Amino acid sequence: MATTGMLQHLCRISASLAVLLALTVHVSLPRASVPAQAPPSAGHIVEQQQLNSYLQKALSRGPRNVVLFLQDKMSLEDFTMYGGAFGNKQDSVFPNLEGALLSSSSPLVLPAVSWPASNAVIGQLQDHLETAPLYLDADTLGQLRLNVSSPALLVFRLPYGLGADLMSAKEILSGNDEVIGQVLSTMRAQSVPYTAIYTGLRPSRVSPRVRRRCVRDTVQQVNSASSSLLRRQLPCRWKRGEETCILMWAKSLSVSILRRGRWEEYDLTPATFGKDVSPKLHGSSCDRTKARLVLNYQEVLGHSNFKLIFVMSQRHYKVSARRWFTLDMVELEYDGTKATFNGSRHIYAPAEYSYRCQSVTSHRWPLLVPRTSKDPANQWRVVFEDFQIQGFNVSGGEFSYASDCAGFFSPGIWMGLMTSLLMVLVLTYGLHMIMQLHTMDRFDDPKGPAISVPQTE
């Protein structure tokens, strides 16, 4: 566990080191007083909580009209490569950004911000400003009139792309800088104090070594979590000797009884499935044609001894020329009383398969029905969610291929087929009637004598 935690920590920090440059610039009127904030120490990675603290201090006494430039990707290397950091200032693609920094009353540069913190910046700003973000572009900003007393969160999405050559990224960053300059110029023209923030959603460059290590550690953690999950979700199994004979699994298993006009429910799942859970299965049995799984419980809905019994059978059907198994009955046995649900009508599968259904209940779209109208089962409800069972031909201690209860032809498909068939019949009838029409073989000529049609024809 300690090793896993260390790997997670290293992966998270390594990703942060290569990630984001967050830049907070306060560009305000000369009379506006903005509190200055100390930048983090060199090499420090700003996490989500610390970034939230920076934003809170900046917005508590500073301008509450916020302009957020949100770039798809951003890394510190973008500024060292294209910002003229090695004496070639004339090649910088960030002139407007540099000008805003120089003219700002209290600029703050955060060279390294963790990935989760940068993704949460919009939510943090919403919480501080108590207003929803307004997504704009530089051309429509001039139509908006801001108010000093009313906070506003203006978001400008900036693209980022890295093509086959380095000039593509340089041109995109240069275009983004022009958008920043246009927006800041429009804000200054409105004479409204504001706070501008420039950051990215995720890193544009990650070291290959860091990426490989993070992916490898993540895969190991996922595999470990999956193995742990499988251990917790082992099905209920009954063995005859060393051979697994019956398998049963349900995500949720509960029973309810009707008392004084109310349904009282009891969840049997924690006592049946889970890590280090060993259900009591005495009374279970199986052979080539019969299988019986008995789950024994204590103190269920006021009954000291309670049993949930699955009775299955398999036999050869001549019509399909194969063997099928059915869940004949589900029985509730408690304090000498037995409630029986019949399931053979709906719950069946080929003998080599397991049976699976998302929901097996006795009250809503029931697959289990009381055996008779006077059976005690009428006072009970059973509910199995994500239910799977196999009582025959279990191989390797695992479920065989599952025969699902959801048929291929759903009610919607049947309705579509019947509607289409009805339309085809109507069209066929119409075409048949049109084909029966015959043209007249005699026509009346107004210049000649009238046609006389004898009544005998």
* pLDDT of amino acid 115: 67
399 domain-assigned:
yes
Q: 74 with 180, same domain?
A: yes
User: How far apart are the C-alpha atoms of 97 and 95, rounded to whole Å?
Assistant: 5
- Residue 385's CATH number: 2.40.160.110
Q: Residue 368 in contact with residue 243, Cβ under 8 Å?
A: no
State both tokens at 174: 């240069």
Q: Residue 376 in contact with residue 346, Cβ under 8 Å?
A: no
303 domain-assigned:
yes
Global confidence as pTM:
0.44
429: Cα within 13 Å, side-chain hemisphere = 6
State both tokens at 281: 């299965």
Q: 247 with 357, same domain?
A: yes
* pLDDT of amino acid 414: 83
The residue segments making up the domain with residue 320 are 236-404
Q: 164 with 248, same domain?
A: no
Q: 196 with 240, same domain?
A: no
Q: 248 with 187, same domain?
A: no
Instruction: List, run by run, the mean pLDDT of 10-residue segments along the chain (457 residues).
Output: 34 34 39 59 76 83 85 82 72 85 82 74 83 83 81 88 60 89 88 86 66 46 42 68 86 89 88 82 88 90 90 88 90 90 89 90 86 88 91 85 76 87 95 87 71 69
Asked which of 369, 387, 404 is the last residue of a domain, the reply is 404
User: How far apart are the C-alpha atoms of 302 and 285, rounded to whole Å?
Assistant: 28
Q: 305 with 357, same domain?
A: yes
Q: 181 with 255, same domain?
A: no
224 domain-assigned:
no
Q: 259 with 339, same domain?
A: yes
446 domain-assigned:
no
392 domain-assigned:
yes
Q: 198 with 244, same domain?
A: no
Q: 129 with 265, same domain?
A: no
Q: 317 with 399, same domain?
A: yes
* pLDDT of amino acid 340: 92
Instruction: Indicate the number of domains in the chain.
Output: 2
6 domain-assigned:
no
Residue 140, number of CB atoms within 10 A of its CB: 9
443 domain-assigned:
no
Q: What angle do CA 68, 121, 101 make, to 5 degrees?
A: 45
Asked which of 381, 404, 427 is the last residue of a domain, the reply is 404
Q: 38 with 142, same domain?
A: yes
336 domain-assigned:
yes
Name the residue with tokens 């800041």.
184
